[in-house]
Structure formats: structure tokens, C-alpha cells
Amino acid sequence: MKIATIAARVILGLPFFIFGINYFFPFAPHPELHGAAVDYMTGLTKAGYFWPILRSLEILIGAALISGYFVPLALGILAPINLQILLFHLALEPQNVPMAIILALLQAFLIYRYWGYYKQIFVAKAELV
């Protein structure tokens, strides 16, 4: 199971690391978008701050997952990003839904494997220490 966990970490981390780098040093073309997806991405681009922050986070998250350092933190930061990727493809660009599902399943598996680090935050009434 340890080998599967390491493989899942690397497989999940690589796309985020590579696409994060691709934003700052373009080497691969972006896929063509259609319809409402274009409007959505245009809005995010016009915000100015969104893409540099997201892609910087993706580089850090990818590096953490690939290296094995700060994995629970990386998975926690990645959760809303991965959820947004899945929802974007389900609602606006359905042709890439399989890849979004694979990323979500990899993350779910890794959260399961690292659950011991998360169970403390799911306490109904936390006491101050």
C-alpha cells in the first residue's frame, strides 16, 4: 500500500507542478475552451491576481506531493482547487471530466491514507489547549 500511496502522490502532484510551471514559462498550449467556459476564464483573467496565485500554489502543492514533504498540508490546500476543477469540467467543459475525476479520486485516496493527520480537525466541539 505504501507504493500505491507514493505513486498516487507523484501522479497527482505532477500535473499541478507542470501546469503551474507552464503558466510562468509557457511550453505547452492551453486547450481551446467553448461557450460559457470562455466567459468564466475571461473573468478570472481580468481579476489580475487569480492566475499567478493559483499557479504558484499549484507549483508548491505539486512539489510537496512529489517530494513527500508537507503532504497533508498540500492535500488540504489542493482540496478546494481540485473540487473547482471537477465542477468546472462537469458544468462547462465535459470532454475533460474523466481527467478531473481521476484527479479527485487520487486526492480522495491520499486523504484516506493520510487520514490520521485530518481527524483532529473534525471535532464537533474543540477545547482550547
- Give a yes or no: residue 71 inside a domain: yes
SS3 97: helix
For residue 129, pLDDT over 90 is answered with no
512529489: which residue's cell? 66
Nearest in space to 117 (alpha carbons), one of 78, 79, 76, 66:
76
pTM of the predicted model, to two decimals? 0.90
Judge whether 123 lies within some domain. no
112 in a structural domain: yes
- The domain in which residue 44 lies consists of 2-118
The pLDDT mean for the chain works out to 95
* Contact indicator for 18, 27 with CB cutoff of 8 Å: no
Number of domains observed in the structure of the chain:
1
pLDDT by residue (tens digit) across 61-86?
999 999 999 999 999 999 999 999 99
CA dihedral 29, 99, 15, 32 (to 10 degrees): 10
128 part of a folded domain: no
- The residue type found at 43 is G
For 82-119, how does the pLDDT look when each residue is reduced to its tens digit (9 = 90+)?
999 999 999 999 999 999 999 999 999 999 999 999 99
> Residue 60: how many CA atoms within 13 Å on its side-chain side?
14
Is 8 a domain residue? yes
Within a domain: 129: no
User: What average pLDDT score do residues 47-59 get?
Assistant: 96
